[in-house]
A and B are shown apart, each in its own frame.
Chain A
Amino acid sequence: MATIHIDGRAYEAKAGENLLEAILSQHLDLPYFCWHPSMGSIGACRQCAIITYADEEDTRGRIGMACMTSVSDGMRISVEAPLAKDFRSSVIEWLMENHPHDCPVCEEGGECHLQDMTVMTGHSMRRYTGTKRTWENQYLGPFIGHEMNRCITCYRCVRFYDEYAGGTDLAAFGSRGRMYFGRFEDGTLESEFAGNLVEVCPTGVFTDKPFAQSYTRKWDLQSAPSICVGCAVGCNVFPAERYGDLKRITNRYHGELNGYFLCDRGRFGSHFVNHEKRIKHAGVRTQRGDYEFGDVSNAIKVAGATLGDGAIGIGSPRASFENNFALRELVGAENFCTGMNDNELEVIKVALEVINQQGIVVPSLKQVEEAGAILILGEDVANTAARTALSVRQAVRTKSFEMATDAHIPTWQDAGVRGHAQSEKSELFIATPAATRLDDIATEVASGSVSELIALGCSVCTKLRSSTVGSDDFAGRVADALRTAKAPLIITGSSLQSIQLVQVAANICCALHEHDQTSSFLFVPPEVNSVGVALLEGGMSLSTAMQRLAEGQAAVVLENDLYFRASADSVDRALSPENFVLLDTLENRTAERASVVFPAATYAEQTGTFVNYETRAQRFYQVFEPQDEIAPAWSWLSHLAKTLGTGSTWNSYASVLEQCAEHTYSLLRDIAPSSDYRIDTTSRIPRQSHRYSGRTAMNAQVNIHEPKAKVDTDTPFSYSMEGQNPGDQNGAAIPYVWSPGWNSNQSVFKFQQEVAGKLAGGDPGLRLIENIGAHLQYFDVDTPELSRRDGSFEVIPLHLVFGSDEMSNQSWPIRARIPAPFVLLSQQDATILEVKPGMGLRVDGITESLEVQVDSRLPSGVIGLPQGLVEIPQRAIDRAHLSVDPEFVARSNASPEVIAKG
């Protein structure tokens, strides 16, 4: 620690960090642009000028940039000195010379870092009378709008997109005053992290396009802390609502997980909440096959009659922990089904067994970023848990930070660190069937069919245990790297649905422990609450449940489209309109067959808990009240329990949670504040900003008498602007970030203990399993025989960041990015079959011909079929025969209908 004197007052700071960080960590105000807590300093914008004094006698001092100055003990600086203030004000004035007169029609207006900094420096009158520079905009795809005129050349966009996220198609072009940030030519930004440009850009050059369609100012949005439902990472998000529609998703800082960034599936994948196919009323299926709405009590009665005694309950990995628990209470543990298919459930159970083992650490994403060497075994994380891939990209930089420290370059000195390291990276080995989007940073990649990957993993394990150093095959090099690295990490997942693969990965961790290496183990589960459902005791697999359904038992299906999980034939056999009741959010194929349908609330319309890959249970709170008859699933299940006379009934979320915590994990009570949590013992936390407008007009066309704001008995939040959001409350109870003078998302530093550190009230969520297990134990892995080569092809499921997730597939911006159905072929097989990319192949078992895509790494004899696309049935086939379809016409790559206007 060091003591620094800022304007005559002494503060504690960390020696070696930069002054800007130190000043902001004290929650003092200092304008800045190019610095970003995750990306370090480059000193490009000259905005954070301060005066540094040589000693106590020095009254004149000299001007310097806070972000480029190291903190040293006893240093004296001034933020408020007139010279520094004038300097900062002049810099803003220069930046504003060419800034267009756009604020009223700019999507950033009201949460613009440039606006905030302009006000903060005091620049208010325009003296420049010359003309303004202009640029043409580009079409950047369905997610991101481009308005180049607003650029202030801070370079944050390219530093994030290229250097931090590894994108290749955004760059700085031009020279001197012509600097241009965009693509080489119009086209969709390819990186799955492009959406972060919206938050990274300090002004309105890159904007959230889907949000802009039906734009609302930040101050008019109602929001609450929530969890992204896109994958199992459990990134913290702010969903925001206005006029009953979910308008957008923004990042909610979590020091251990998502930090400052989200992936695009998370950011743009939630518009399913406003989908026109939302089920809004309880409906009873009539003889004609359509649904009769309007009588809820009748629907409950019919549902009760359908179910009778001993019905089974099919839960869902996308429903909250509490809703699954409520279902289990209704039907009993012996009749409860997790809603996952056999393989998936088994794989997760094995992973949980591993997590239970002593000494095997499950890393948070922050810990992933500190890993010294990584082996990715069988999981394409850029597609299945994209935010993890972004952390892996940072992990390969650990070596450059070590090199910088050795060369006495501060680690925040971004250009220096990168320049010194050149292309040196920490070791990353990727063993997956096909190419991944992390291959560009990998030390070495290996490909293989599932059985080959298992064999490879076994070989790594053997090499580690035999302690032979310096072998020259892939497995040997992996073993050497893991053995010597600091904090090695093994990443695997469920996407290949192979139990052995997870066991092998765990064995490697065990072998590393024999070398006294504290390795960590990251298992990527398939869905947001897969781990949560698997942790509920009891719980058969989906095929067992469907078997019992086919035998004539009735079922309650909770938020689960069975056609998305099992082959259509088997679901058709199991489900008949007489034998099941559905609680779900969207009309889907399962809903078309249900005898009664109840409208369930989405995650934005209810309060609940999701359990992420590290078994971290995190609370999400209701953002807005659902429309019509939509209600949380547990309340429908409570009605059913009353009708059936079994199970429990609840009248509030608190009562469900209480019973759930009692029967499962008592920690669930402590993961987030309960409904009686108050700020200063009196105030609730407002969901709306203090500037929320239109209160007396938004419903006036319906009723001139303003309704009383709903009193929220389930959460500590209010449905109004009343209350306080001070920033130091429990970290799980931050509904939005705002601080006086800081309207943009940059205000988050006022909510942190120190810049990029923990939230002031602690990072949200608690792990349900924290190394409680028994002892280190190797799995006996039965290595499967290598695949036969009988002219058929082994099918490998491919997961797509846009296209393989049930709910985000229904979000309209994501739909624009879902590819046409394709089959992934190895180079060798493509040559044998005489096909080229863009030609068509018939795959038996699939009606539609698929477009050929050739993968550089896929081994021959293996094809990849994308999961989650409507045209390709779910997991119907393990092996397939291929034949060329000469009449195939490739679906035109939907060219943008409307080129973005300026």
Chain B
Amino acid sequence: MLSQIKTLWTVFVHLFKRNETVQYPEEMPYQAPRYRGRIILTRDPDGEERCVACNLCAVACPVDCIALQKTEKEEDGRWYPEFFRINFSRCIMCGMCEEACPTYAIQLTPDFELCEFNRNNMVYEKEHLLIDGTGKYPDYSFWHVAGKTIDGKDKGEAQNENKPEDVRSLLP
């Protein structure tokens, strides 16, 4: 008896509280930037693709829903994915790929609206994944840390690097 009165009271009090219901989809709730939703591929601060096709996201993926193939543009020495495919109908939004990514290329976004009538439309290729910006990490550029030469960054020009050694020097 007492319990039922308590319950009624609680319901009554809530009549005067702020409404928690959001009129989705007309009204969007706040999504924290770290929310794990739809996956994107981002670009370097200089606008080039960040993904170097290292395959770490693919191997970290517990449901094996990422497939890609490395290729290289000979004129600039960078590694790229020739194709990059995520099968979102398998993705469990666990964020392991983002954790594994050494270049901050793959990132999860707050966009959770991934509904399709046709499962085939859940397969995203690189053109669907790649955005124009840097995403959550505006400053990092892997190629300026790595030792490999790319167009515009020669040996010894990366962060924390000496000029190339002169092999023919006889100085002690």
Q: Residues of A with Cβ closer than 8 Å to B?
A: 100-105, 109-110, 130-137, 147, 149-150, 173-178, 180, 212-217, 219-220, 242-243, 691-698, 700-701, 704, 898, 901-902
Closest to A212 in B: B72
Within the complex, what minimum Cβ distance (angstroms) separates B147 from chain A? 3
In the complex, B131 has a CB within 8 A of chain A: no
Judged by DSSP, the binding face of A is loop
Closest to B63 in A: A696
Cα of A110 to Cα of B163 in the assembled complex, Å: 29
A213/B72 in contact, CB under 8 A: yes
Known: A104-B142, A902-B155. A698 touches B172 (CB 8 A): no
Write out the residue numbers on chain B whose beta carbons fall within 8 Å of the beta carbon of A695.
Answer: 64
Cα of A220 to Cα of B155 in the assembled complex, Å: 30
Closest to B100 in A: A104
In B97-113, which residues have CB < 8 Å from any A CB?
A: 102-103
What are 19 A-B contacts defined by CB distance under 8 Å? A100-B158, A103-B54, A104-B54, A104-B142, A109-B54, A135-B155, A137-B149, A175-B169, A178-B169, A180-B167, A692-B64, A693-B55, A696-B63, A696-B90, A697-B86, A697-B123, A700-B89, A704-B87, A704-B89
Chain B 46-82, CB within 8 Å of chain A: the 1/0 string?
0000001111101101011111111110101101001
Within the complex, what minimum Cβ distance (angstroms) separates B63 from chain A? 6
B52/A134 in contact, CB under 8 A: no
The 4 closest A-B pairs by CB, nearest first: A100-B147, A902-B149, A694-B67, A104-B54
Within the complex, what minimum Cβ distance (angstroms) separates A693 from chain B? 4
Write out the residue numbers on chain A whose beta carbons fall within 8 Å of the beta carbon of B18.
Answer: none
B67/A697 in contact, CB under 8 A: yes
Within the complex, what minimum Cβ distance (angstroms) separates A104 from chain B? 4
B55/A220 in contact, CB under 8 A: yes
Cα of A695 to Cα of B62 in the assembled complex, Å: 10
Cα of A104 to Cα of B78 in the assembled complex, Å: 12
Instruction: Count contacts on B: residues with CB < 8 A to the other chain.
Output: 58
A173/B102 in contact, CB under 8 A: no
Cα of A169 to Cα of B111 in the assembled complex, Å: 57
Known: A696-B87, A902-B149. A132 touches B103 (CB 8 A): no
Which of A101, A105, A173 contacts B54, CB < 8 Å? Answer: A105
Cα of A219 to Cα of B87 in the assembled complex, Å: 20
Closest to A177 in B: B165
Write out the residue numbers on chain A whose beta carbons fall within 8 Å of the beta carbon of B132.
Answer: none
B122/A704 in contact, CB under 8 A: yes
Q: A102-B147, A134-B155 are in contact. List 14 more A-B contacts (CB 8 A).
A: A104-B146, A105-B146, A130-B160, A132-B162, A135-B155, A176-B172, A180-B165, A180-B167, A213-B72, A693-B64, A694-B64, A694-B65, A697-B87, A901-B150
In the complex, B170 has a CB within 8 A of chain A: yes
A698/B145 in contact, CB under 8 A: no
B87/A700 in contact, CB under 8 A: yes
Write out the residue numbers on chain B whose beta carbons fall within 8 Å of the beta carbon of A902.
Answer: 77, 147-150, 154-155
Closest to B119 in A: A704
Known: A105-B52, A135-B167, A704-B89. A694 touches B58 (CB 8 A): yes
In the complex, B25 has a CB within 8 A of chain A: no
Which of B58, B59, B85, B167 contacts A174, CB < 8 Å? Answer: B167
A704/B59 in contact, CB under 8 A: no
Known: A217-B59, A704-B87. A134 touches B64 (CB 8 A): no
A135/B164 in contact, CB under 8 A: yes
Write out the residue numbers on chain B whose beta carbons fall within 8 Å of the beta carbon of A110.
Answer: 55
Closest to B71 in A: A214
Within the complex, what minimum Cβ distance (angstroms) separates A674 from chain B? 31
A693/B59 in contact, CB under 8 A: yes
Select the residue from B61, B70, B169 with max chain A CB neighbours within 10 A: B70
Closest to B144 in A: A101
In the complex, B20 has a CB within 8 A of chain A: no
Cα of A744 to Cα of B45 in the assembled complex, Å: 35
In the complex, B120 has a CB within 8 A of chain A: yes
In the complex, B127 has a CB within 8 A of chain A: no
In the complex, B156 has a CB within 8 A of chain A: yes
Cα of A693 to Cα of B55 in the assembled complex, Å: 9
A102/B69 in contact, CB under 8 A: no
In the complex, B27 has a CB within 8 A of chain A: no
Cα of A599 to Cα of B72 in the assembled complex, Å: 32
Which of B52, B67, B142, B162 contacts A131, CB < 8 Å? Answer: B162
In the complex, B166 has a CB within 8 A of chain A: yes
Write out the residue numbers on chain A whose beta carbons fall within 8 Å of the beta carbon of B82.
Answer: 214
Cα of A506 to Cα of B90 in the assembled complex, Å: 66
Write out the residue numbers on chain B whose beta carbons fall within 8 Å of the beta carbon of A704.
Answer: 87, 89, 119-120, 122-123
Cα of A227 to Cα of B119 in the assembled complex, Å: 43
Within the complex, what minimum Cβ distance (angstroms) separates B58 from chain A? 4
Closest to A109 in B: B54
Which of A102, A212, A215, A696 contacts B146, CB < 8 Å? Answer: A102
Within the complex, what minimum Cβ distance (angstroms) separates B127 from chain A? 12
Closest to B165 in A: A178
Select the residue from A132, A147, A243, A697 with max chain B CB neighbours within 10 A: A697
A216/B70 in contact, CB under 8 A: yes
Within the complex, what minimum Cβ distance (angstroms) separates A695 from chain B? 4
Cα of A213 to Cα of B72 in the assembled complex, Å: 7
Write out the residue numbers on chain B whose beta carbons fall within 8 Å of the beta carbon of A103.
Answer: 54, 102
Cα of A696 to Cα of B87 in the assembled complex, Å: 7
Cα of A177 to Cα of B165 in the assembled complex, Å: 9
Closest to A213 in B: B72
Known: A104-B52, A134-B165. A149 touches B71 (CB 8 A): no
A105/B87 in contact, CB under 8 A: no
Write out the residue numbers on chain B whose beta carbons fall within 8 Å of the beta carbon of A215.
Answer: 53, 70, 79
Select the residue from A135, A136, A696 with max chain B CB neighbours within 10 A: A696
B59/A101 in contact, CB under 8 A: no
Select the residue from B67, B102, B156, B164 with max chain A CB neighbours within 10 A: B67
Select the residue from A101, A174, A177 with max chain B CB neighbours within 10 A: A101
Within the complex, what minimum Cβ distance (angstroms) separates A722 from chain B? 13
